């Protein structure tokens, strides 16, 4: 029987007008059960009595403030996984933002609240929460079937181990989702908001060229955020089997050339040279959108971990019936102990780039899954201090067997 997901959202603010505004906005756009609290003490009572999926909480409250309340929520095993979105005054120094993240918050919105931004954020969070709900529901149904088989076959121990592994994988996926949302989506939004605020407030001070530079930076941050969100959604769909898979024959060279132009501004910002050595006329049989995602992620990864003045190159060649594509960089290289963990969802191997770029490792996990989906293989050659080389293969020519 299909179960309809209806999220439980807790609104927290000591001012009734603010609660009324939040409730009205959410009721207009979402089908959710809403609870309200005006103090940290009320919050703790409510989350003990009800299963709350998401908390929108004001920071400045009399008595126990939002940060202290969040720490108490996170210290309780029963409530530690509830996502918390803080709402408070504009924070140009980002000290409140840092304090909120340290207290266990997943996001930070400033007053006065931008309705469109709040609705967009809530849609994104609730989509992931619903995904977790459906996945856990599916796992509970699967566990019930497994228990019945255990009773019939008297193989209790082995089957329960399989079930536990699936639950751990589901929890690892959930943790990865919220880790990415909490950290990597926040930084580009802060850049967009900060740059646009400066441009609006001091518009007449800047020359036309300077104004254009601001707009280019805002566009770049928005594009990067969109690409990360697309990776998140793509990976989410791979976990539920809902992603479209449409393999066909196409020439790989023009796809690579187009993606190189997309990442060229990022490389130019770090004075990194892009090189291309493609064998003419090579065709592959694969899903073009998936392979484009793989190439883009690997090029961006190379740029991220290469020092200014270095280079990132891409080559293609035939290896038997397969087309091999390699992306090489002169970057920092990868610790041998991390190499075998790069494609594992339950391993934490995220690292900062040479210019402090943040990352989650999700892009490489997505690359591995997409290449495997297209009947190819991906591997890594790397040496610390001398750079890395990512190589993957795809079936060459038409009509290959792709599951």
- Residue 249 has what pLDDT? 95
Over residues 32-80, the pLDDT tens digits come to 999 999 999 999 999 988 889 899 988 888 888 888 998 999 888 888 8
| Mean predicted confidence (pLDDT) in 20-34 | 90
The pLDDT score that the predictor gives to residue 88 is: 80
* Residue 177: C-alpha distances to residues 148, 182, 221, 233, 235 (Å): 32, 9, 20, 10, 10
Which structure tokens are listed for 171?
Answer: 């929890």
What pLDDT does 219 receive? Answer: 76
Give the model's pLDDT for residue 205. Answer: 86
| Domain containing residue 42 | 1-183
For residue 205, being part of any structural domain is answered with: no
Closest among 131, 266, 112 to 188, alpha carbons compared: 266
User: Same structural domain for residues 38 and 123?
Assistant: yes
Is 386 domain-assigned?
yes
User: Could you tell me the CATH number of the domain that includes residue 162?
Assistant: 3.40.50.2300
Give domain status of residue 75, yes or no. Answer: yes
- CATH code (residue 384): 3.30.565.10
Q: What is the pTM of this model?
A: 0.48
Q: Are strands 273-277 and 107-110 parallel, antiparallel or unpaired?
A: unpaired
The predicted structure's pLDDT at residue 349? 52
Distance separating alpha carbons of residues 367 and 392, to the nearest angstrom: 10
Query: What pLDDT was estimated at residue 363?
Result: 76
- Residue 234 counted as domain residue: no
Task: Let me know whether 167 and 264 are in one domain.
Answer: no
Within a domain: 353: yes
d(CA 170, CA 175): 9
Predicted local confidence at residue 400, as pLDDT: 45
Q: What is the pLDDT of residue 252?
A: 95
- Check whether residue 162 and residue 275 sit in a common domain: no
d(CA 143, CA 137): 10
Do 154 and 269 have their domain in common? no
Residue 380: predicted pLDDT: 92
What is the average per-residue pLDDT within 276-297? 91
What's the rounded mean pLDDT across residues 8-21? Answer: 90
Q: Mean per-residue pLDDT for 15-28?
A: 90
Residues 164 and 61 in one domain: yes
What pLDDT is stored for residue 315 in this prediction? 96
Mean of pLDDT over the chain: 81
**Minimum mean pLDDT range among 6-10, 215-219, 284-288:** 215-219
Domain boundary among the residues 138, 168, 183 is at 183
Q: Is the pLDDT of residue 357 over 70?
A: no
Contact present, 117 and 109 (Cβ < 8 Å): yes
Say yes or no: 173 and 294 in one domain. no
The predicted structure's pLDDT at residue 10: 92
List 276's β-bridge partners, or say none: 314
Is the same domain home to 178 and 253? no
Residue 1 confidence class, pLDDT cut points 50, 70, 90:
very low
Boundary of a domain, candidates 183, 212, 230: 183
What per-residue confidence (pLDDT) applies to 106? 78
Q: How far apart (Å, rounded) are the C-alpha atoms in residues 112 and 114?
A: 6
pLDDT digits (tens, 9 = 90+) for 308-342: 999 999 999 999 999 999 999 999 888 887 777 77
Q: Which of 132, 162, 183 is the last residue of a domain?
A: 183
DSSP symbols for 276-339: EE--TT-EEEE-HHHHHHHHHHHHHHHHHTS-TT-EEEEEEEEETTEEEEEEEE-S----HHHH
Q: 253 and 156 share a domain?
A: no
Identify whether residues 374 and 277 lie together within a single domain: yes
Spatial CA neighbour of 247 closest among 92, 397, 69: 397
pLDDT single digits (tens) 201-255: 888 888 888 888 878 778 767 766 776 676 667 666 666 666 678 899 999 999 9
Q: Which tokens hold the place of 183?
A: 């950290």
Phi and psi at residue 387, in whole multiples of 5°? 105, 180
What pLDDT digit, counting tens, does each position of 172-206 carry? Answer: 656 655 555 555 566 667 767 877 888 888 888 88
| Residues 265 and 164 occupy one common structural domain | no
What pLDDT sits at residue 401? 46
Task: Evaluate if residue 99 carries a pLDDT over 50.
Answer: yes
Q: 146 Cβ partners below 8 Å, 6+ apart?
A: 159, 160, 162, 163
For range 100-104, the mean pLDDT: 79
Asked if 151 and 289 sit in the same domain, the reply is no
Q: Does residue 201 sit within a domain?
A: no
Statement: residue 345 has pLDDT above 70: no
Instruction: Flag whether 219 is in a domain.
Output: no
Number of domains in the chain: 2
Say if 9 falls within a structural domain: yes
């Amino acid at each position: 029987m299909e179960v309809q997901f209806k999220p439980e959202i807790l609104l927290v603010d000591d001012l009734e007008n603010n609660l009324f505004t939040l409730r009205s906005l959410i009721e207009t756009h979402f089908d959710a059960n809403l609870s309200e609290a005006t103090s940290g003490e009320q919050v703790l009572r409510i989350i003990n009595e009800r299963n709350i999926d998401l908390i929108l909480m004001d920071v400045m409250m009399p008595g126990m403030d939002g940060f202290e309340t969040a720490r108490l929520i996170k210290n309780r095993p029963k409530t530690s996984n509830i996502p918390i979105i803080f709402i408070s005054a504009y924070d140009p120094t980002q000290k409140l933002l840092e304090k909120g993240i340290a207290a266990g918050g997943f996001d930070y919105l400033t007053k006065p609240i931008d309705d469109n931004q709040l609705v967009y954020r809530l849609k994104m969070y609730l989509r992931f929460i619903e995904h977790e709900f459906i996945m856990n529901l599916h796992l509970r149904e699967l566990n019930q079937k497994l228990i019945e088989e255990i009773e019939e076959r008297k193989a209790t121990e082995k089957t329960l181990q399989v079930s536990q592994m699936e639950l751990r994988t589901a929890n690892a996926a959930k943790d990865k989702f919220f880790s990415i949302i909490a950290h990597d989506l926040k930084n580009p939004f802060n850049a967009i908001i900060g740059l646009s605020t400066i441009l609006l407030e001091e518009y007449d001070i800047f020359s036309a060229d300077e104004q254009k530079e601001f707009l280019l930076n805002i566009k770049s941050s928005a594009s990067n955020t969109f690409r990360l969100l697309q990776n998140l959604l793509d990976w989410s769909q791979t976990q539920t089997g809902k992603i479209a898979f449409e393999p066909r024959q196409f020439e790989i060279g023009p796809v690579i050339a187009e993606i190189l132009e997309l990442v060229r501004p990022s490389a130019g910002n770090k004075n990194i040279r892009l090189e291309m050595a493609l064998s003419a006329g090579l065709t592959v049989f694969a899903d073009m959108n998936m392979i484009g995602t793989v190439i883009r992620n690997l090029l961006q990864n190379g740029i991220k971990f290469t020092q200014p003045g270095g280079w990132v190159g891409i080559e293609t060649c035939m290896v038997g019936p397969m087309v091999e594509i390699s992306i090489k960089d002169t970057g920092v290289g990868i610790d041998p102990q991390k190499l075998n963990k790069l494609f594992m969802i339950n391993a934490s191997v995220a690292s900062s780039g040479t210019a402090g770029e943040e990352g989650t490792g999700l892009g490489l996990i997505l690359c591995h899954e997409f290449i495997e989906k297209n009947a190819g293989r991906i591997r890594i050659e790397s040496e610390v201090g001398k750079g890395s080389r990512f190589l993957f293969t795809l079936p060459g020519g038409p009509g290959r067997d792709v599951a």
